[in-house]
Structure 1
Amino acid sequence: MTTTAMGAPASEDVARALRALADPLRLRALSLISASPSGEACVLDISELTAVSQPTVSHHLKVLRDAGIVTSERRGTWVWYRLAPEHQEAVRAVLGAFATVDARPSEAIPDLDGDLDRIAADLAPRYPTIDAARVRDVVRDSATALARTSGLGARLVNLTERFARQRLDDLVRIEGGTAVPRVLFVCVANAGRSQLAAALLQRYAGDAVLARSAGSAPAPTIHTHVRPELDALDADGFPKPLTDDAVRAADVVVTMGCGDVCPVYPGTRYEDWAVGDPALASPEGVAAIRADIDTRVRNLLPTIGVS
């Protein structure tokens, strides 16, 4: 409760902020930024979750930024947005007071920030060539990327640690830290074809090759009929998004129906496999797709120096 009347300058500032908030998409964007595990989001995140084009999202975020409600920072290809520190409390109060409560059950994490800081602290000594601040950024960015499909439950913490380790390994490889050949398999959902290919290659090649997989639009979980095939290969994969560093760290990139989503780098070999999608296939269909991938993987082995 205020004890004094609002002055003219303050009322103008508040009115400007309220005008910026008076749009459903902007409120959704602020809600997504506020709910993000890392406290930030990029245009792609908001566009995917609101089904609105990226230019439209960029326009609305510019309105919020011009009103001082969010701040922005360009990192690589994307501009990341956060709530302005001086407005965090007010924005969250507005969102909490007026937002409709989602009735769907969810698994809460008491201290996600603490979990992410713990992961970063555990990983930093394992990667002495990477600055600790960079390790922390990778951990938080990994959590943000996985939260789109994994939710905010305890599963997110476990998957974040695994995904961050892979991404930090990629950074070490880019810096010339390892000589083991790497093969990256990419499909759309990273829930079937690419998972099977990576698991089969790792089974046949062992420590002679490092197989990775990723998706241009990862699914929440592995396809139901694919999971038994992965279990039979002792592969504990999970859908994860394609990153630029994963491509840069790979010697061979194999795409499977994901279109032209992979950046192209000199010195990296690219192949495209026309393999069936197991998403809607029967168990018998999945077995046939696995057999096709198996043959292709066996043919790939000698081309990467594995007999």
Structure 2
Amino acid sequence: MIPKIPLDEWVEKGVDGLESNLTVLFQMISTSIEGSVNALSYVFHFIPPLLFIAWITILAYYLGRWPFAVFSAAGLILIENLGYWNHTMDTLALVMTSALISIIVGIPLGVWCAQSDKVRKFVTPLLDFMQTMPAFVYLIPAVTFFGLGVVPGVIASVIFAVPPTIRLTNLGIRQVAEDLVEAADAFGSTPTQKLFKLQFPLAMPSIMAGINQTIMLALSMVVIASMIGAQGIGADVYRAVTQIKTGQGFEAGLSIVVLAILLDRMMQYLLKKKGVHKNV
């Protein structure tokens, strides 16, 4: 009989080694992420709810006309009426921070994958691993490195949410017609000019679709992140589950649904406003 491979021991030794040798780096990352979340949360809380609702309604009308504007106003007023406004703003800050980090990391990695087959072959299995590994597993090393609170929640959300941005950035750039790339080379374009003036504009529908998926995946992590101390609506859902309060869980879940629909539709209407939806 083949002896059991001590994979768990290897992983724990690796995690312990990282924790011992990279403490300063983890503290810097933790401070940066916590500062970003707190700054966004402060801004969202500073704006009076009615003013925030009015601003979102005007933006929704500009992007999608009256039906979307009416839904935006009604949905946000409902969240305020149910008493989940402050927690919704906390959740929005967490989601926006996770999405921003995912975009900053994902787009350059996607470009690198598009420009190098070796990098793509190395990164693709990692993305498969990140998307198929149960999200709860990410919480263990996140808590080990960053403790309890919002920071490990953001880290776990980024790991779970970043793959679509990388994949679709890579796909969008690779789908740019070869004859256009050859024409750019023939006219003496530098790699930077070719990327920003040709490949990025043509790949933008795919890139924006990846960003949209990333935002939705980050939002789907709010309940899981609440298990390790991240505040927001997810904490209300988790509390309702542990205390078997169906009504409270429905109210909190409805608030997440409204927020998800608003973010998703705004991204879609933004694509239409920019005139890139025809290629999606």
TM-score (norm 1): 0.23
Instruction: Give 1 or 2: higher strand fraction.
Output: 1
Greater RCO, 1 or 2 (C-alpha within 8 Å, sep 6+): 2
Tell me which structure has the larger Cα radius of gyration: 1
Instruction: Give 1 or 2: higher helix fraction.
Output: 2
TM-score (norm 2): 0.25
